[in-house]
Structure 1
Amino acid sequence: MNGLPTWTKHPSGIVPENEHERRTLEYGDLLQATAGESDRGLVITAAAHVEVYLERILKAFLIDDADVKELFEGPFAPFGSLSGKIKAARLMGLITKEEAKRVDAMRKVRNIFAHELNASFDHPDVKKLCAKSPIKDGRLADRDAFLHMAMNTVIHLIYRDIGVAASHKRKPLMNEDREKLDSYRSVRDE
């Protein structure tokens, strides 16, 4: 996955001073991209952004190694699909169970739009998904409920990788660490 466009100067002319400002502009771009978009465009754009954010979060957690890219690229990459990224991020404790449910709901709706030529928010399979939690909120039309849920999910994930990198980044296992881990086995076996 190529990810989102990278720029040093935002198309609006703003030059972000730090990564947080760049991400805030990126979120604005997402809001602008979904405004007036077709149903298909809205769903696919929102899901693509979430997939990029999950990949960033996972990469921020994993050790720095050239082999990490093999987890995300190629036909048999375990984190090559949105589903794989959702499961990995949840099981590594990088997203909550509720966030995983929301992203998975987005994935399911995206899959219908990706595989059905006549998909819209009036499509029976989309309506079925939008009629239940976490999309349905009881107040909004299906398209608006999906967008509301998606944007509320995105706003929590867009900066998450920065915090993960600062406090949860994994380090390669060194011999002295391995020996300490192995010592637990000998204590357990006694």
Structure 2
Amino acid sequence: MSEWDEDIAALDMSDVEKNGLQVYRNYTKAFEREQAKKFAAEVNSESHDVSRLDKVCDAIASDDERLIPVIACAFADEALDEMYKREIPKGVPGGRDSLFSGYGPFSSLSKRIQVACAFGWMSEDILKDMDSLRKVRNKFSHLWDHESLLGYAEKAPTSDITPVEMMFKEHEERLLLSGVENLDGLGRLRIRTIWLLGRLYYETLLYPLAVKQRLQPYVVLYGEHQPKLLSQVSGVCSEYTRQVLRAKI
């Protein structure tokens, strides 16, 4: 074998060693592709209703700006609650319900975010961004003069939410994300929150499943053989991205 990947070819190794390493890499990639296909087929065999995602994206795109963190956190709280109840075994000592009540590890949004991050059950950037919105929501709940919060979208931590338009730069035309960087802070926040909730919804359904099957979640969820659900989620997010962009023209 003389067709090596560029990084393997640059290694200070004998040709025999490079051949062995290349064969191993090729086998690993082929195995991962088959696992991704199998995972997608399993997910595609079930139907998924994205109407709830559609409804929350509609609210994020059009409701009062001060409601954005409240709505987003309520949706995330519900989605994470459902994820844990779906994935945590019923035979937990002391009863599964105790985990979700009182001072249990899943009793609040902040705890649900922390546990998901600690055990790698969701992309870290999603959890960090949701925690940023949670902090803003909490700030709102302790202030009676909400007029003083106008313009909050231009300030941290909301202004630091991952810019989806940069994350999906190579797909920005197809996903209708071109032009987002030209919006004001509120417009950017609406669109970034829409995509944040879309990804959170998608990953609460599939990320733990990939982890349990000992697969690389990012590969099987976003790679070449991604489940059809990703297209459904992207379609919803793109539609409300279009609405926000049109409203700003």
Q: For the superposition of Structure 1 and Structure 2, which TM-score range results when normalised by the shorter chain?
A: 0.5 to 0.7
- Residues 2-29 of structure 1: CA deviation (Å, up to 9, x unaligned): xxxxxxxxxxxxxxxx651x2x111111
Is the CA contact 1:57–1:94 (under 8 Å) kept in the aligned structure 2?
no
Alignment-derived partner of residue 70 in structure 2: 44
How far has the Cα of 1:123 moved from its partner? 5.7
TM-score (norm 2): 0.51
Matched, 1:159 2:185: no
In structure 2, distance between residues paired with 1:113 and 1:35? 19
- Where structure 1 has 5 or more consecutive residues not aligned to the other structure, the ranges are 1-17, 171-190
After superposition, the Cα gap between the structure-2 partners of 1:64 and 1:19, relative to the gap in structure 1 and judged at 3 Å, is farther
Alignment-derived partner of residue 134 in structure 1: 162
Letter in 1 for 2:73: A
How far has the Cα of 1:169 moved from its partner? 5.7
After superposition, the Cα gap between the structure-2 partners of 1:87 and 1:79, relative to the gap in structure 1 and judged at 3 Å, is same
How far has the Cα of 1:125 moved from its partner? 9.6
Q: Between Structure 1 and Structure 2, whose CA radius of gyration is higher?
A: 2
Alignment-derived partner of residue 6 in structure 1: none
Letter in 2 for 1:114: S
After superposition, the Cα gap between the structure-2 partners of 1:25 and 1:125, relative to the gap in structure 1 and judged at 3 Å, is closer
SS of residue in 2 equivalent to 1:93:
coil
Q: Which has the higher helix share?
A: 2
Is the CA contact 1:50–1:154 (under 8 Å) kept in the aligned structure 2?
yes
Matched, 1:103 2:146: no
How far has the Cα of 1:35 moved from its partner? 4.0
Alignment-derived partner of residue 145 in structure 1: 188
Q: Where does structure 1 differ by over 6 angstroms across 4 or more consecutive aligned residues?
A: none
After superposition, the Cα gap between the structure-2 partners of 1:162 and 1:95, relative to the gap in structure 1 and judged at 3 Å, is closer
SS of residue in 2 equivalent to 1:151:
helix
In structure 2, distance between residues paired with 1:30 and 1:117? 25
TM-score (norm 1): 0.65
In structure 2, distance between residues paired with 1:61 and 1:27? 21
Matched, 1:70 2:113: no
How far has the Cα of 1:135 moved from its partner? 6.7
How many residue pairs get aligned? The number is 150
Letter in 2 for 1:44: V
Letter in 1 for 2:80: L
Alignment-derived partner of residue 117 in structure 1: 144
Alignment-derived partner of residue 231 in structure 2: none
Letter in 1 for 2:79: Y
